Amino acid sequence: MKKLLLILMLAFLSGKTLAVETKVMPGYEVVSDKFDASIPKGNYVLTGQVYEVPSMKKLKNISSQVGSAKEVMSATGTFTLTIPLAQSYVAFRKTKYQVSYFESYELQDQHRIVVKIFIKKEGQREPEIREEKPVIYAYSENKLSFDLLLKPKGKLLFTYPLPDANTWHMTVDGQSLKDAAGNSFPYLFWEASHSPEFAFDQLNGKISGKILAQENVLSYLDSVLSHMNFNSREKTDFITYWGPRLTENKYSLVQFVVQDQCARFAEYGISPQPDVFNRFYMVYAGFDRYPGFIEIVPQVLPPFERKGFELLEWGGVCYPAYLNLTTD
């Protein structure tokens, strides 16, 4: 099994780790992996280009080292290395940059592997990740007032309407949501940002989710939201926001985070407590080619129950696709 698992948020700054032994690094992307009869038996060829992240500019004057062998310098940053099949470890170095590695990949005899190697400058901070458009709808058959205290995990960037010390004081009647002054709102809105600190969820070493081609985005989102019992307004709001973002990519890795798992983004204090508080986030990463190196297992999502005094939240996060993690 290929052990390269795309992980896009995992404590690059804090040093947190998964329960399994891991090594965090800027990483690599396998562009292609094909048999080549011209390669001597017992060997494979690793070829590609080194890029700086997050700028993705091509870097020059890169040294590569296979195991304990002597380092090889590339003035252009491109490389073609013929490597014994038993040697699966290649290090890439540049002055004032962190070391990056090609490793933990399922090698095959006489295969030519084309890769992009990603490295970053020493001391460089990872870009902040943004929770985009978390919105909260409120419903109640009977008119009632409630207080909702927002406790985001990251740095709060924007809220609407403006809460009082991060607390919204609202009244709901049916689908009508109003503040104390009688102003109406379709939902409550906030955004926040933070440094990478968590990963795509996995099941038996595989990422639970779906790799979507550009042309399948809308039908897939419609199907999932219908399954989750979103109403027509909620579906329209979600798809018109996230559909254009996903279809910017030829392929997107999509995973949904639901209910208590959404506490990684924010927590709330609610009074009185709703009968149900349904939470639904989409996390994704975009690619310009099919990411065949990612192993996927279908995600099972229990439908939401809709009843009584109810809050429903959705939001999402785009993960930079160059961040990778290998697991031993």
Q: Are 265 and 237 in contact (CB under 8 A)?
A: no
CATH assignment of the domain containing 90: 2.60.130.10
In a domain, 305, yes or no: yes
Question: CA dist 106 to 14, 44, 302, Å?
Answer: 30, 11, 35
Q: Are 309 and 173 in contact (CB under 8 A)?
A: no
Question: CA dist 233 to 186, 229, 237, Å?
Answer: 10, 11, 6
- Does residue 238 share a domain with residue 193? yes
- Does residue 175 share a domain with residue 37? no
- Does residue 161 share a domain with residue 239? yes
Using alpha carbons, select from 248, 254, 215, 218 the residue that is nearest to residue 236. Answer: 218
Query: CA 278, CA 273: separation in Å to the nearest integer?
Result: 13
- Does residue 202 share a domain with residue 73? no
Q: What is the 3-state secondary structure (H, E, C) of 278-309?
A: EEEEEEEEEECCCCCCCCEECCCCCCCCCCCC
In this predicted structure, what is the pLDDT of residue 313?
A: 98
In a domain, 162, yes or no: yes
Using alpha carbons, select from 85, 90, 91 the residue that is nearest to residue 108. Answer: 85
User: Among the three residues 69, 92, 119, which one is the final residue of a domain in this structure?
Assistant: 119
In a domain, 17, yes or no: no
Per-position b or e across 227-249, b if 16+ CB within 10 A of its CB: ebebeeebbebbbebbeebbbeb
Query: CA 39, CA 109: separation in Å to the nearest integer?
Result: 9
**Residue written as tokens 């002055």?**
95
In a domain, 4, yes or no: no
In a domain, 53, yes or no: yes
Torsional sign, CA 261, 263, 265, 269: positive
Query: CA 214, CA 321: separation in Å to the nearest integer?
Result: 16
User: Among the three residues 74, 97, 119, which one is the final residue of a domain in this structure?
Assistant: 119
φ/ψ (deg, to 5) at 294: -95, 125
Query: CA 80, CA 131: separation in Å to the nearest integer?
Result: 40
- Does residue 187 share a domain with residue 101? no
> Which H helix or E strand runs over 33?
strand 28-35
Using alpha carbons, select from 58, 115, 122 the residue that is nearest to residue 95. Answer: 122
Positions in the chain short of pLDDT 50? 1-26, 323-328
Using alpha carbons, select from 264, 262, 243 the residue that is nearest to residue 254. Answer: 243
In this predicted structure, what is the pLDDT of residue 195?
A: 66
User: Among the three residues 90, 119, 148, which one is the final residue of a domain in this structure?
Assistant: 119
> Which H helix or E strand runs over 34?
strand 28-35
Name the residue range of residue 99's domain: 27-119
Tell me how many domains the chain contains.
2
